[in-house]
């Protein structure tokens, strides 16, 4: 998988059941990230914000890992989530913060 991410067991199951679809999804993600001027870190922080807004715990975990791999600091990840308070509300941000913290605490 691209971006040196760590696929979840759910991802592995989908990849086993639908390999062509999952390859197409990976290719789409890579194509979209390379389509414009944003760097990888900014792209993953934006995707992290989208994951938080949709309340997807797995996606928050994934994009926290990807943002870290792209050079984002813990502070940048937390700030990206904090910026969402006025948009998606404190309870959703608090939930996303705890999901992101799951990954950050494993990183040390």
What CATH number has the domain bearing residue 62? 1.20.1290.10
The residue range of the domain holding 16 is: 2-107
- Given a contact cutoff of 8 angstroms between Cβ atoms, the answer to whether 1 and 26 are in contact is yes
Q: What is the mean pLDDT of residues 7-36?
A: 90
Instruction: State the total domains in the chain.
Output: 1
Provide the CB-side half-sphere exposure for 32 (13 A, CA). 11
Geometric angle at alpha carbon 78, from 68 and 63, rounded to 5°: 40
> How far is it, in rounded angstroms, from Cα 105 to Cα 4?
19
Contacts of 1 (CB under 8 A, 6+ apart): 7, 11, 26
pLDDT at 6: 57
pLDDT digits (tens, 9 = 90+) for 43-100: 999 999 999 999 999 999 999 999 999 999 999 999 999 999 999 999 999 999 999 9
């Amino acid at each position: 998988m691209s971006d040196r991410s760590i696929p979840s067991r759910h991802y592995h199951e989908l990849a086993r059941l639908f390999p062509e679809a999952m390859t197409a999804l990976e290719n789409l993600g890579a194509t979209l990230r390379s389509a414009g001027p944003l760097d990888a870190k900014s792209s993953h922080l934006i995707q992290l914000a989208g994951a938080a807004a949709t309340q997807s715990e797995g996606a928050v975990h994934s994009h926290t890992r990807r943002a870290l791999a792209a050079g984002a600091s813990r502070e940048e990840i937390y700030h990206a989530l904090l910026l969402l308070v006025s948009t998606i509300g404190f309870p959703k941000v608090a939930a996303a913060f705890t999901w992101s913290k799951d990954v950050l605490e494993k990183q040390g």
